Amino acid sequence: MKSLSRAEALSAKECTSRVARFLLHSKLQVTGTLPSKNIDTGMGLERISMIMQDKETLFDTDLFLPLSKELSKYVDKPNSKYEKVILDHLKSSTFMISDGVVPTNEGRGYILRRLIRRAIRAFNQVSTQEISLSF
């Protein structure tokens, strides 16, 4: 059985915290060309923005702030778990729809349907308002 390295054994939160401290406090400068270009760190825009803005979660960054403010107008019973589900599912659904996916009974369309349904179910947990999806 292969033993894990120290870096692999760290939890995701510890790794993110260490990367954040490194980025915020390091004075390293890259000069010249890198030995390997286009290396994927797997961090993504949201994690990098979380680190650079020194926030605890992705939902505290300026990427989610406008959505969060709009959602708070409709929330009667605040619950951060359900609010995060709503925000995350809205974001995922938006990207899927922009890629041309429509709600159907199979494949990606089925996943989109489930995301929308779960966002509505979470919304019903934090709000007593009846909101329609029709325009």
Domains of the chain, by residue range, sit at 10-27+41-56, 64-135
Q: pLDDT by residue (tens digit) across 18-65?
A: 665 665 566 556 667 767 777 777 788 888 888 889 888 889 999 899
Q: Where are the alpha helices (DSSP H) in 6-106?
A: 6-9, 12-25, 44-52, 65-72, 80-98
Query: For 46, how many CA atoms within 13 A lie in the half-sphere containing its CB?
Result: 11
Q: How far apart, in whole angstroms, are the C-alpha atoms of residue 87 and residue 133?
A: 16
Burial of 17 (0-12, 13-18, 19+ CB in 10 A): middle
Query: Does the predicted TM-score (pTM) go above 0.85?
Result: no
* pLDDT-wise least confident of 52-56, 63-67, 112-116, 129-133: 129-133
